[in-house]
Amino acid sequence: MEALSYINGRWVHGADLEHPKEVYNPSNTEELVGRWNPVDQGQAQQAVAAAAEAFPGWRDKTWVERGQWLQKMADAMAGTRSELGLLASREMGKPLGEMLGEVDRGVALLRYYAGEGTRAMGEVYPSQLPDALLFTERRPLGPVLIITPWNFPVAIPIWKMAPALVFGNTVVFKSAEWASLTAARMLQIFDQVGLPPGVLNLVMGSGSRIGPVLTQSAQIRAISFTGSQAVGSGVAQAAVTHGARFQLELGGKNPAIVLDDADVPTAVERILSGALRSAGQKCTATSRVIATPGVMAALTEALQARIKELRQAPATEQDVFLGPVVSAAQARSIEQRLEAALSQGGRVLCGPKASAHLPPGHYIAPTLVDHAPVGGVLHQEELFGPVIGLFAASDPVQAIKIANDVPYGLSASLFTRDLDLALYYMRHMEAGLVRVNEESAGVEYQAPFGGVKESSMGPREQGRAAIEFYTETRTLTVRPSC
Ligand code: NAD
């Protein structure tokens, strides 16, 4: 596949000819999946200008009409489910079953936000003025920039662009380098519905080269960013300098706390799903398991036994629990942090060397490490890979303290049958998603999503919460003329 960017309703070859990209399948690096060329800074500016020019026309369409467009986008995407899922799986290594589920999620998100075109968008208030009508309405902001990571190549772009569009904003979509083929194919699918030129633009390119041009553009009125902490803070600074609204969804170091009374088989299944699906490359992935003394031995044994049964294979094969990680650089970064954790006292119980029978690819076997210190690398840093750190706590209160003792606060889970302890945890756990007897990963699109502490900044994403970010409220008063 030769992927192109999409600017002002036209497919364009990226003009940055010095940095052509070839995409090799992370499950088998001998397989070339496609090619693309990054846009240059001038093309990035053209995309912003196109979104700015298209804005008044798009804003002035009815909410209902914009919702109908989203409905058509959903239909078009549903019709290409298998093809899009397969391409994404080959591009970034997510197991095909999971990837198809993600495409379904994308379709559901589009339909949900299509519905927003027919829901209430303001409130009526009693006025102090006789016979006055006092009410609010929501207005779009203007051109918005969405910057996305590679780990949910379909769902994250859609959960940003769908609300942006239905509420009347135009969009510049800066896709992740490792998910560009998928982004371009998605835009081809959406192109079939005939959106007006400039309403939705895609620029594929390196974040460090075109990111500043996009984020510093005064025409951009809001930036929705999902990615790493390091990049996100620069994006926020750029937004503030020209008064654009911003929203950051960043990393996580998500705990699963297992208490003495937990049902161990259930806890093990949900922890492994949370930690190892997508090879641990989810912001909500479980990366720390914290257990109290009465359950530690049984839990450790059960985790080890079950990890040995998990099937790691090329992402496009059937019944794969986990495939490769996305890139050689990602694999190196995980291995380096793991080495640091071992040098701090960590002991490997499973992994990380993958089976020699796998094709050449970026595989790291599911890895379980105990004895790493609280406060050390494995306890504090996001590895973004299939690595679980096992930590001991003397009692439930200390377990929650160890869980909270990190800069992040995205998601957390607790396994117990004790309602009082569950309530205590729900009150004290510092996380945006607080779950009991459920894995830390897994998001429902109709409910608000986001973290606390350094995991997020700005209004929540998804569900009805998205209207807070993508619109501003006006208060209107009308009185009889005499
Ligand atoms: P990243 O920060 O490297 O890149 C994210 C995006 O930012 C990419 O599109 C990249 O090209 C772009 N970018 C890079 N430099 C830029 C710059 N100077 N200006 C503007 N844009 C720039 O992150 P990644 O490696 O793609 O994704 C992994 C990270 O994302 C992890 O930390 C993970 O936890 C996080 N993440 C968070 C959530 C969430 O909802 N909280 C969801 C998924 C991933």
Q: Tell me: the pLDDT tens digits for 424-480?
A: 999 999 999 999 999 999 899 999 999 999 999 999 999 999 999 999 999 999 999
pLDDT, mean over the chain: 98
Taking residues 111-135, report their average pLDDT.
97
How far apart are the C-alpha atoms of 256 and 273, rounded to whole Å?
12
Contact assessment for residue 260 and residue 295, using Cβ atoms and an 8 Å cutoff: yes
**pLDDT for position 163:** 98
**pLDDT digits 0-9 by tens, 214-272:** 999 999 999 999 999 999 999 999 999 999 999 999 999 999 999 999 999 999 999 99
Distance of CA 320 to the CA centre of its chain: 22
- Rounded mean pLDDT of 325-343? 98
CA of 225 to the centre of ligand 1 (A): 7
Residue nearest to atom 26 of ligand 1 (CA): 149
- pLDDT for the residue 64: 98
For ligand 1, the distance from its centroid to the CA atom of residue 449, given in whole angstroms, is 17
Separation of CA 384 and ligand 1 centre (Å): 12
| Residue given tokens 């996380």 in the structure block | 431
- Work out the percent of the chain whose per-residue pLDDT is above 70: 100
Q: Is 290 helix (H, G, I), strand (E, B) or coil?
A: strand
Nearest-atom index, ligand 1, CA of 330 = 25
Confidence of residue 193 (pLDDT cuts 50, 70, 90): very high
Please give the number of the atom of ligand 1 that sits closest to the Cα of 214: 20
Q: What is the mean pLDDT of residues 86-97?
A: 98
| CB contact at 8 A, 247 and 458 | yes
Cα–Cα distance between 225 and 231 in angstroms, integer?
Answer: 9
pLDDT at 376: 98
Beta bridge partners of 290: 257, 391
Please report which confidence band the pLDDT of residue 60 belongs to, taking 50, 70 and 90 as the band edges: very high
User: Tokens 């790691």 label which residue?
Assistant: 312
DSSP assignment of 55-84: HHHHHTS-HHHHHHHHHHHHHHHHTTHHHH
**Is residue 233 lining ligand 1, measured as CB closer than 6 Å?**
no
The token pair at 57 is 């026309």
DSSP per residue, 187-203: HHHHHTT-PPTTSEEEE
The CB of 384 under 6 Å from ligand 1? The reply is: yes
Does residue 350 have an active-site annotation? no
Express each pLDDT in 396-432 by its tens digit. Answer: 999 999 999 999 999 999 999 999 999 999 999 999 9
Does residue 454 line the site of ligand 1, with CB under 6 A?
A: no
The phi and psi torsions of 98 (rounded to 5 degrees) equal: -65, -40
Predicted pLDDT at 351: 95
- Burial level of 403, CB count in 10 A (0-12/13-18/19+)? buried
Task: Give which of 180, 381, 119, 156 is closest to 247, Cα–Cα.
Answer: 156
Of 133, 132, 8, 138, the residue nearest 66 (C-alpha)? 138
Ligand 1 site, residue 235, Cβ cutoff 6 A: yes
Ligand 1, atom 39, lies closest to the CA of: 249
C-alpha span between 205 and 180 (Å, rounded): 8
Q: Is 249 a catalytic residue?
A: yes
Report the Cα–Cα distance between both ends of the chain, in Å, rounded.
Answer: 67
Ligand 1 atom having least distance to the Cα of 230? 2
Kindly give the residue spans of alpha helices, DSSP state H, lying in 381-451. 396-404, 419-428
Q: Is the CB of 208 under 6 A from ligand 1?
A: yes
Pocket probe for ligand 1: among 39, 102, 145, 151, the residue whose CB has the most ligand atoms within 8 Å is 151
Helix (H, G, I), strand (E, B) or coil at 373: coil
Which residue among 283, 438, 454, 468 is the active-site one? 283
Which residue's entry shows tokens 């620029």? 203
Per-residue pLDDT tens digits for 138-181: 999 999 999 999 999 999 999 999 999 999 999 999 999 999 99
Ligand 1 centroid–CA 227 distance in Å is: 2
228 lines ligand 1 (CB under 6 A): yes
Question: What amino acid occupies position 451?
Answer: G
**Residue of 231, 233, 282, 382 to test ligand 1 pocket, by largest number of atoms within 8 Å of CB:** 231
Closest protein CA for atom 15 of ligand 1: 207
Determine phi and psi for 6, rounding to 5 degrees.
Answer: -135, 110
Q: Whose CA is nearest to atom 40 of ligand 1?
A: 249
Provide the pLDDT for residue 128: 97
Pocket lining: 143 vs ligand 1, CB cutoff 6 Å: no
| Residue 336 token pair | 């380096």
Average pLDDT for residues 317-330, to the nearest whole number?
Answer: 97
Would you state the pLDDT for residue 303? 98
Residue written as token pair 């809001």: 222
Q: Are 413 and 439 in contact (CB under 8 A)?
A: yes
Ligand 1 atom 38: the closest Cα is on which residue? Answer: 283
Distance from chain centroid for Cα 346: 29
Evaluate whether 143 touches 201 at the Cβ level (below 8 Å). Answer: no
Which residues neighbour 137 within 8 Å (Cβ) at sequence distance 6 or greater? 121, 122, 473, 474, 476
Dist. CA 211–CA 438, nearest whole Å: 37
